[in-house]
Amino acid sequence: MPNEQKEKHVYTVTELTKYIRVILEDSFPNVWIEGEISNYTLHSSGHMYFSLRDANSVLKCAMFKRANEKLKFKPKDGMKVICFGSISVYEARGDYQLIVQEIEPKGVGALQLQFQQLKERLFKEGLFDERHKIRIPFLPMRIGVVTSPTGAAIRDILNISRRRFSNVEIIINPVKVQGEGAKDEIAAAIRQFNKLANIDVMIVTRGGGSLEDLWPFNEEAVARAIYDSEIPVISAVGHEIDYTISDFVADFRAPTPSAAAELVIPNKDDLVGLIRTSVTRLKNALINELEMLQEKLAKLRGSYVLRQPLNMVIQYQQKIDGLVEDLMLHTDHLVIRREESFKLLAGKLDTLSPLAILNRGYSITAKLPEGRIIKTASDIKQGDLVETKLGKGKFTSKVESVS
């Protein structure tokens, strides 16, 4: 029995957890796992924490800052992805998890997803609004070009400039148009042109290429530099089928570098022809107008007014004399009518006057000293002094009796 009773080994939680961690890390050092992101969190440290889930299970994931700095898109809940990494155990909680090194969107490339996310965000901010667009000048004297000095784009623009209007000055601000640091050089060149303010319009351009090659023109730094530009910007990136973020922000989008040059540089021969045609039309219009004026002058010379100018003066003098006579006659008639009306009103007023009544034998008696008119016998008493007004004159008397 003693031999059968072997001493049993008792693990601590930490020992068992470490043992399981070693087994998992050795068994799954590099794995690709497909699932849907949930519970996504971006920690203030820069680390990402989320879960991968399918219909039946959930796997916790951690993607540390050093790895996620390379991401071309922003993960979010509900996004279906494929993650590459290794299985490990977070010993403090005993949870097994996937340490993610790479993430790829399922069904769409990472760059394409980043493009869509940035496009949507800048659209919501209003960077694509038409009200912010600046009108392209008709005939710029100086054109600034932000591009590679060795690329096909600048050669096309220079050839078209020489062919269409050699007087236009082309100023090149050379930049990298792909690879590391290209976005910063492009944005800096756009801002430099604005600072110098020595051009009328700007073309931001490069030739065709893959999505990766054109990517600097999809960067937010370039988009904001174009948006902030006070000089009108034409974006001409890639071929006709290629669209970049700079195309949406720019004041005008040209399908190719050559199309941008033809848009902004008019054909000198066409302009010269237009000027000549305009000069001819103006000359003919002036000749026609002069002929019409000459005909009008000839008619005026033969008119009665110019042949007998004093007769018109005499006629107007006579007309004025007649108007003066009419005015005097009308004034006299008006004065007579007003005098008659005045006399009629004066007669009515005289009839209503108290003096007229007195002239007919009536009198007015007032109590002295207040001068109050006596209307009834009760207004006075014996011994009061009264004044009586007649049609002509007045007298004072003393009341002897009242009845």
DSSP string, 287-306: HHHHHHHHHHHHHHHTSHHH
Shared-domain flag, residues 184 and 256: yes
Looking at the structure, tell me whether residues 89 and 204 fall in a common domain: no
**Residue among 163, 167, 145, 162 at smallest CA distance from 154:** 145
Quick check: is 38 in a domain?
yes
- Name the domain boundary from 266, 301, 326: 266
Q: Supply the CATH number for residue 250's domain.
A: 3.40.50.280
Same domain, 95 and 161: no
CATH code of 55's domain: 2.40.50.140
Looking at residue 3, its pLDDT comes to: 52
Q: Which residue among 235, 266, 297 closes a domain?
A: 266
Straight-line distance from the first to the last Cα atom of the chain, in angstroms, rounded to the nearest whole number: 171
Question: Same domain, yes or no, for 20 and 70?
Answer: yes
* Spatial distance between the Cα atoms of 128 and 390, rounded to a whole number of angstroms: 106
Cβ–Cβ < 8 Å for 51, 71: no
pLDDT for 1 = 46
What's the pLDDT score for residue 11? Answer: 76
Please give the tally of structural domains in the chain. 3
Question: Domain check: are 157 and 250 in the same one?
Answer: yes
Is residue 303 domain-resident? no
- 174 occurs within a structural domain: yes
- pLDDT of 363 reads 78
257 prior amide bond cis, ω within 30: no
The SS3 of residue 94 is: coil
CA pair distance 276, 339, nearest whole angstrom: 81
Chain centroid to Cα 278, Å, comes to: 36
Say if residue 97 is in the same domain as residue 153: no
Q: Does any domain span residue 91?
A: yes
Give the helix/strand (H/E) hosting 393. Answer: none
Q: Point out the domain boundary residue: 247, 266, 285.
A: 266
Residue numbers of the domain that contains 377: 358-398
- For residues 391 and 361, the answer to whether their CB atoms sit within 8 Å is yes
Walk along the chain (403 residues) and give the pLDDT tens digit of each residue.
Answer: 455 556 777 777 877 778 787 888 777 888 888 888 889 999 999 999 999 988 888 899 999 999 888 887 888 888 888 889 988 888 888 888 999 998 888 766 667 778 888 899 999 999 999 999 999 999 899 999 999 999 899 999 999 999 999 899 999 999 999 988 999 999 999 999 999 999 999 999 998 888 788 899 999 999 999 999 999 999 999 888 888 999 999 999 999 999 999 999 998 888 888 899 999 999 999 999 998 998 888 887 777 666 667 777 777 888 888 888 888 888 888 888 888 888 888 777 777 766 666 666 677 888 888 888 888 888 888 888 888 887 788 888 888 888 8
**Which residues lie closer than 8 Å to 334 by C-beta, 6 or more apart?**
none
Q: Tokens standing for 179?
A: 């690879």
Report the pLDDT value the prediction gives residue 268, as an integer from 0 to 100. Answer: 87
pTM of the model: 0.54
103 and 142 fall within a common domain:
no
> Does one domain contain both 98 and 143?
no
- Does the residue 94 lie in any domain? yes
State residue 366 phi and psi, 5-degree precision. Answer: -125, 145
Does one domain contain both 150 and 97? no
